[in-house]
Structure 1
Amino acid sequence: MTKGASMDTHSSHLYEYLVDHAKEFTEDWLKLQDIKTGSHYSPDSAPEVLNKVKEQNSNYVKIIAQCLLLSSEESKELIYNWTKETATDRSKSTTTLDEVVRNGGVFRRVYWTYVEKFTEEKTDLNIQLKEVFEWERKINFALDYVLETFTSRFLSILMNRLQAQSTLIKELSAPVIPLTSEVGLLPIIGDIDTDRARLIVETTLQQSADSHLSMLIIDLSGVILVDTMVAQQIFRLIDALNLLGVKSVITGIRPEVAQTAIHLGLDFSQIQTENSLERIIARVIQENTVTMHV
């Protein structure tokens, strides 16, 4: 038997050994995990979670073992498909990325312990040092690629989730609530900085256009402070709405806000204002009802 053939045979023996000991490996790996509620790696996880993690880890052992018999490109394809699934699964828990990285080190340590056991138990195979170095190259390449693809997928999922949450928060920060098919209500609540003011203008114009509104009631009862910048953005919004053919009515200006506006010399005289949101909504509904019966 040639050296190349011998090496391939011994790699096959190591592959079979690791596959046969996958469950035992997983139990040893689990003993090294810290208890951290919410983490999928925690020994105190719910039984269904723990069983799934055990199954995934056993499959992980077999996948890395299979890489002993594959080329680098074949190993990468195999690993990518596995990490895509497991990263998605981990992202649904409170498992953090630093736990994933730490666990990668634990897994690697246990893996090499089993390779060592194999070489000690299979003395009849006459395993050469060169073979061990070849296994080191393939196993560590596979483990490194697992970490690379897992973290990339994990972070991608988290970033997409944050982006979705950010978009939702932005939409909720300036929601146009339809009162009728043509009249909407924009309740503005809280402090308004430059970024939020710009966002309110952009989203309100888009929502008003999409809903084909003819009137928008802007409720400022939740705004405690109106400065020059905020007023300018409100005027800008009203001017832009006028260009879209949407009439604007402001309601809910608080007494302290009115005093501040006068002190700052802000002129709301050209803008239609109402002192009661309930009254204007009731009027809108009444007018809409009358129109429907005409």
Structure 2
Amino acid sequence: MTFSAPLSAPVSSATRPLKALYDVAAPAKLNLFLHITGRRPDGYHLLQSVFMLIDWCDTLHFELRNDGQISREDLGDPDQTAGTDLLPAEDLAVRAARALQTACGTSLGVHIGLQKRIPSQAGMGGGSSDAASCLLALQRLWGVNLPPQDLQAIALSLGADVPFFLSGGHAWVEGIGEKITPLALPPARFVVVKPPVGLPTQGIFSAPGLKRDTETATIQGFAANAEGPLKSFDFGFGRNDLQPVAQEICPQIGQSLDWLKTKGLQGRMTGSGSAVFAQLLHEADLPDLSGLPDGWKIRKCSNLEAHPLAGW
């Protein structure tokens, strides 16, 4: 199956039945800090973090199928990143579609086209964001409306980051990813660096040397690091507890941080890596971003006011 309509067609809110939805955004996230505060008996880690949406996005397109089948097409993109062993039929977008289809009992299907721009195995939540955007878009395409708690349960079953991407904006996240408190953040610019090597999340969380007993923080403590009228957050707040383990496994993370330091920027790893980022405090102070080896990705990003699908 191929996409016959122009991919530039806008997302529609027309009356049922919809035949397609195009240009559905799935934004990446950065973890401003990430603390591991404990571990449950079932092995899941308890965390605290601020998740921030940025304007580095995948784009998804959906065409209705009346035969109940769910298919997935990789549309390709010059920015597409290799480094995942998942086949298109096994990725989170397809799993999200199947889970929603089962939950709402629809006989309809979908063909999903994915333009992948967010690097894989980067700690930026690309797959989780794709899954959340699928859940939101397919409710509209199929004309179904699950109760929020049911949709959140599906999201959590797909992965710890997926519920955040359903929440509509930046958030203070706790528990195993299911406790989400909306958080307002001031506009800010960042440099994001992704080395060629990716890191599987499970390998980082299962490392024996991972620190799992960081003292519990508070939203108030995080907000206290805001200074000045623009509330420029001090990245001295907290740390990423996964970063030391990730750097041992992937020395290129350290190289990325060292490179940022040569540019006068204070870097930190996001999520379980391997991407790192640094805030640009003043747009006029943007340094020369050349000099990375071939195969490394670098991008200047802004945080978003809200998720592009907020309110769906």
More helix by share: 1
Q: Which has the higher contact order (CA 8 A, sep 6+)?
A: 2
Larger radius of gyration: 1
**Higher strand proportion, which one?**
2
TM-score relative to the length of structure 1: 0.24
TM-score of the superposed pair, with normalisation by structure 2: 0.23
